[in-house]
Structure 1
C-alpha cells in the first residue's frame, strides 16, 4: 500500500463514519499521511482526527477512536495505534505493506516531477499581489507555482517589476499596478538589503538566496551561494540530482535498468531516504498553504542529504552482477532525482544532469 493508497483508505474511513452518523463533518479532499514523528509508531501517521475535531464538535481522541475502528481490519493494515492528542499511527502488514519502499518508489516514478501535485476542478481564484521589491516578486511568483501544483487557480500581480529582475532571475507575474479589492494575499517578505548583490549571483543562486530563508528572516547574499562544494546546500541538492542521472546512464552501460521492488532487505538503503520521499506531498501542500517556499527549499536539502549515503551502493562493484537489489536501489535513486528536479522546477531553479 503506497502513501497515496493509504491516504485514500483514511478518507474512505471518514466517509464511512459520516454515512454511519458517527461524525458530522464535510469529508476533506485529502488526508495527509507521513512517517510517524517523535512518540509515534508504525509505518505512517495522520493528524486527520485533529483536523476534523472542531467541525465535528468532538475531541480529537474521540474522532481518532472512531476512525481507528474503521481502519482496523482493512486489507493491508496490520495495526492502528492512537498516540498524543489524537494522532493515528498505522502499521502495514506484510501482505499489503511488505513492499512499502518499492510501492512508494513506483508511485514517484509514475508521477515524475509532478509527484505531490494535486488535480482539482473549480474553486475560487487566489489573487497574489507583491510589493515592488525583488524578493517579494520572486516569492510571490513561486507561491503561485506552489498553489497551482495543489490545483488552485492563481493570478499574480506586482506593484512593479524591474526589467533586470526578469532578465537575471527570470521572474514574471500576470499583471501589474496597485493592489485591488480582489487581492487575496499580499506578499511582503522582509526586503532584501542588497538587491545588486543578489542579482550578481545569477538566476539559480540568486533565487535560492531569496527563497530559502523564511519570509520573516533576512536574506544573506554573498558569493558563498556560488561555492561548488558540499557546504553550499543548493550545490548538494543539484549534485545529488546529477548523480542520480549519472547512475542511470552508468547502469544502462552495464545493461540494466531501474525496477522498483522491495527495499527493506536491500543493503545500503538509508531509511531516511524513503521517509523524505513519502513526506514530499505533505511538504508541497504545507508550502502552498502557508505561502512559504522556504519549506520546500529546506525539504529538498533534507531529501538530498538523506539520499547521499545511498548513491555509492547503487551500482554493482567489481565483478558483481546486477541483481534485483541493484535495480531496486537504482529505482530509488531515480525517484530521488525526480523529486529534486520537480522541487527545483517549482522554485524556478534548473536541475542540471551534469555537474
Structure 2
C-alpha cells in the first residue's frame, strides 16, 4: 500500500461502517486527506476524519475513530492503526517493495500520482487585468486539482500580489523563476524576488530541482555508455556505506508524492508541491553518487536498481514541475 491508497482505504472503511449501521447517519466523504504525521507524533500518517463523521453519526469522535481503526486494521498493507487524542487516526504502513513502486512510477510517467479520473488541465485564458501572481497560482491549482479528478471552482485564499517595488518580475527573472517564486510561499504571503532566483548553484532551490532532474536523465545516458540499463529492484544490495539509508529515503519521498498532490489539491496550496519537489531533489542529489559503477567495478543488479530509482525520482520532478507550469530541461 502507498500513502494515496491509504486515503481510499479510509473512505472505504467509513462507507462500510455507515452502511452496516455502526456509524448510522454518518456522512461518507468522497475523499479523505491523509497527511504525514508531525515530528514526535504516532505512526507515519494521520487523518482527523473521525471528527467529520462524528457530526452526522451523533457520536463522539473517539468512538468513531475506534470503529474505523478496527476496520482499517484488517486492510492489507496497513501494519498498525492507533487512535490518539480526541479521535485522530494514525497509521503505520507495511513495507512495500521498492521494485514495485519504481515500476509503477516509470509506467505512469508524468501522470504518476494522478487520481482515477484525473487528467490534464486546459490552459487558462485570463483577462489582461489579472496580475501575474493570481495567474500563476490559479493555473497551478487548476492543474493540480485536475490531476486529482477535481474541478477548480472557488476556495483559493485571497492572494497577496507581487509587490510594486518588484516591477515586471516576468521580464526581470524569466517566466520559470518568477513563477517558482510566486508559488513557493502560501497565498497570503507576498512572494520574494531577488538575484538569488537567477543563481545557478545549490543555494537556489529552483536550480536544485531542475538540476536534480537533469542529473537523473544524465545518469541514464552515462549508464548506456557503460553498457547497462535501469531495472527496478532493491537498490541497497551491495551494502555500500550510506546507500541503504539514502535509497530508503528516496523510496519514501517518491511514495509520498501522490499524497502530496492530494493534499495540495484539497488545500489549494501549490506551495506544498514545491516543498516536496525540493525534498525529492535533495535526496536524489545524494543518491546520484551511488548509481554508477566506480573504477573497475562492473555494473550489478544493485546499480541497475539504483538507476531505476533515480529515473523514478526524475519522473516525479518532471511531473511536479509540469503541474506548476515550470520547464524541466534534460540538460542543465
What is the TM-score with the length of structure 2 in the denominator? 0.83
Determine if contact 1:300/1:340 at 8 Å carries over to the other structure: yes
Q: 1:191 to 1:201 in 2, by over 3 A?
A: closer
User: 2: distance between equivalents of 1:113 and 1:234?
Assistant: 19
Which residue does the alignment assign to 1:68?
69
The answer for unaligned runs of 5 or more in structure 1 is 122-126, 156-182
Query: RMSD value over aligned CA atoms?
Result: 3.0
1:303 equivalent among 254, 263, 280: 280
User: 2: distance between equivalents of 1:330 and 1:47?
Assistant: 38
Which residue does the alignment assign to 2:84?
83
Question: After superposition, what is the alpha-carbon deviation per residue over 1:51-86, rounded to whole angstroms, capped at 9, x for unaligned?
Answer: 433343333322221122113344444433333443
1:338 equivalent among 315, 323, 328: 315
Q: 1:73 to 1:213 in 2, by over 3 A?
A: closer
Deviates more, 1:135-144 or 1:81-90: 81-90
SS in 1 for 2:130: coil
CA apart distance, 1:204: 1.1
User: 2: distance between equivalents of 1:103 and 1:9?
Assistant: 19
Deviates more, 1:109-118 or 1:129-138: 129-138
SS in 2 for 1:82: strand
CA apart distance, 1:90: 3.5
Q: 1:148 to 1:73 in 2, by over 3 A?
A: closer
Which residue does the alignment assign to 2:121?
none
Question: After superposition, what is the alpha-carbon deviation per residue over 1:83-140, rounded to whole angstroms, capped at 9, x for unaligned?
Answer: 34434344455xxx352x333333322322122222449xxxxx99886322222222
Determine if contact 2:157/2:188 at 8 Å carries over to the other structure: no
Is the aligned partner of 1:28 residue 2:29?
Answer: yes
User: 1: distance between equivalents of 2:304 and 2:135?
Assistant: 43
Deviates more, 1:202-211 or 1:192-201: 192-201
SS in 1 for 2:83: strand
Question: After superposition, what is the alpha-carbon deviation per residue over 1:127-171, rounded to whole angstroms, capped at 9, x for unaligned?
Answer: 99886322222222222222222222358xxxxxxxxxxxxxxxx
Determine if contact 1:39/1:84 at 8 Å carries over to the other structure: no
Which residue does the alignment assign to 1:189?
160
Q: Spell out the pairing of 1:181-330 with structure 2 (5 A cutoff).
A: 188-193=159-164, 194-262=166-234, 267=239, 268=243, 269-270=245-246, 271-330=248-307
Q: 1:318 to 1:84 in 2, by over 3 A?
A: farther
Determine if contact 1:128/1:187 at 8 Å carries over to the other structure: no
Q: 1:33 to 1:110 in 2, by over 3 A?
A: farther
Deviates more, 1:206-215 or 1:332-341: 206-215
Question: After superposition, what is the alpha-carbon deviation per residue over 1:319-350, rounded to whole angstroms, capped at 9, x for unaligned?
Answer: 32333322222222112111111111111110
Q: 1:77 to 1:343 in 2, by over 3 A?
A: closer
Q: Spell out the pairing of 1:39-54 with structure 2 (5 A cutoff).
A: 39-42=40-43, 44-54=45-55
